[in-house]
């Protein structure tokens, strides 16, 4: 049996999502994994269903499909399974592709993995000046389904368990509180330094344009000192988590069928 791995990204009109996935693919290959393919749900090519056809043509009999997403949502529960021929709510299926039967195991996003809180914690330590009252905002994309909010809330709780204070959650769209609301509350509560932590896989339109505006940063600025409510407030904007090597370890465990807690 020939085993293949498909890492599935969201896709974006920017190339960041693709670059991050290619970086993770190289790391997996360095760990000895073979037959690694990259596909996307939308916008970026190749799409996941076309990649599955390529895998079938290459003689792959067994596929581990890994969504390169932080949290579940409509893409994970509906769109990607439909592209792969997996029944709704199933963890996999035997599908026929080009006259060949392929056994697909469909994994879940990174979600509640403890490595995410470790990555966020390191971002905080790297960005903190140690001066003044500090606030931390963990931001998510938001979703019509509950999974993104649950994941962001879970990771924020883990930061509190690590001893961090003044930790808030916020969302770019769909869920509440919105980023503007959480940021304004931080300022109203006297924070002198606000660290914004995107719980996102990669840069894209939201992180490049939407979020900076909502926290009073100029496009492309990772840090700025602002005068808000008559006080100086320093805003620091972290990079997303998708390129971190610890995500490579999470993917490797998923490939090998190892549960992480």
CB-based burial of residue 151 (10 Å sphere; 0-12 exposed, 13-18 middle, 19+ buried)? Answer: buried
Strand partners, 236: 195, 223
260 pLDDT tier (thresholds 50, 70, 90): confident
The whole-chain average pLDDT of the chain stands at 96
Model pLDDT, residue 105 = 98
The CATH fold of domain 114-237: Rossmann fold (3.40.50)
Closest alpha carbon to 95 in 142, 66, 60: 60
Instruction: Give tens-digit pLDDT for 99-149.
Output: 999 999 999 999 889 999 999 999 999 999 999 999 999 999 999 999 999
- CB neighbourhood size of 217 (10 A): 18
CATH value of 3-109 in 3.60.40.10, 3.40.50.1400, 3.30.930.10, 3.90.320.10: 3.40.50.1400
Instruction: Give tens-digit pLDDT for 137-181.
Output: 999 999 999 999 999 999 999 999 999 999 999 999 999 999 999
Model pLDDT, residue 219 = 81
In 3-state terms, what secondary structure has residue 134?
Answer: strand
Contact present, 62 and 97 (Cβ < 8 Å): no
Rounded distance between C-alpha atoms, residue 4 and residue 252, angstroms: 13
* Mean pLDDT score, 179-199: 97
Q: Hey, which residues are catalytic here? A: 141
Q: Please give the radius of gyration of the chain, using alpha carbons only, rounded to the nearest integer.
A: 20
Instruction: Give tens-digit pLDDT for 36-82.
Output: 999 999 999 999 999 999 999 999 999 999 999 999 999 999 999 99
- Domains 3-109 and 114-237 alike in fold: yes
Model pLDDT, residue 220 = 85
261 pLDDT tier (thresholds 50, 70, 90): low
pTM (2 d.p.): 0.95
Rounded distance between C-alpha atoms, residue 128 and residue 135, angstroms: 10
**77: CB partners within 8 A, 6+ apart:** 88, 89, 145
Query: Domain map of the chain by residue range?
Result: 3-109, 114-237
Model pLDDT, residue 196 = 98
Angle in degrees, CA 143, 146, 147, rounded to 5: 85
């Amino acid at each position: 049996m020939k085993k293949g791995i498909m890492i599935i990204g969201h896709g974006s009109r920017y190339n960041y999502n693709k670059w991050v996935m290619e970086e993770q693919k190289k790391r997996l290959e360095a760990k000895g994994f073979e037959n690694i393919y990259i596909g996307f749900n939308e916008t970026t090519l190749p799409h996941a269903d076309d990649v599955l056809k390529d895998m079938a043509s290459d003689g792959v009999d067994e596929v581990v499909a890994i969504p390169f997403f932080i949290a579940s949502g409509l893409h994970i529960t509906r769109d990607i399974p439909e592209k792969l021929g997996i029944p709704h709510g199933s963890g996999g299926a035997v599908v026929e592709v080009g006259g060949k039967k392929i056994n697909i195991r469909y994994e879940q996003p990174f979600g509640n993995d403890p490595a995410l809180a470790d990555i966020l914690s390191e971002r905080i330590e790297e960005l903190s000046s140690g001066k003044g009252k500090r606030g931390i905002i963990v931001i998510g994309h938001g979703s019509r389904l509950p999974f993104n909010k649950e994941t962001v809330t879970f990771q924020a709780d883990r930061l509190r368990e690590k001893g961090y204070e003044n930790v808030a959650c916020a969302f770019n769209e769909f869920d509440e509180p919105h980023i503007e609301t959480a940021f304004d509350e931080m300022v109203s509560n006297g924070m002198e330094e606000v660290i914004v932590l995107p719980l996102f896989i990669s840069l894209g339109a939201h992180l490049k344009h939407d979020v900076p505006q909502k926290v009073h940063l100029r496009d492309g600025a990772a840090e700025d000192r602002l005068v808000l409510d008559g006080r100086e407030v320093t805003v620091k904007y972290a990079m997303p988590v998708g390129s971190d090597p610890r995500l490579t370890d999470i993917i490797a465990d998923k490939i090998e069928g190892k549960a992480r807690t």
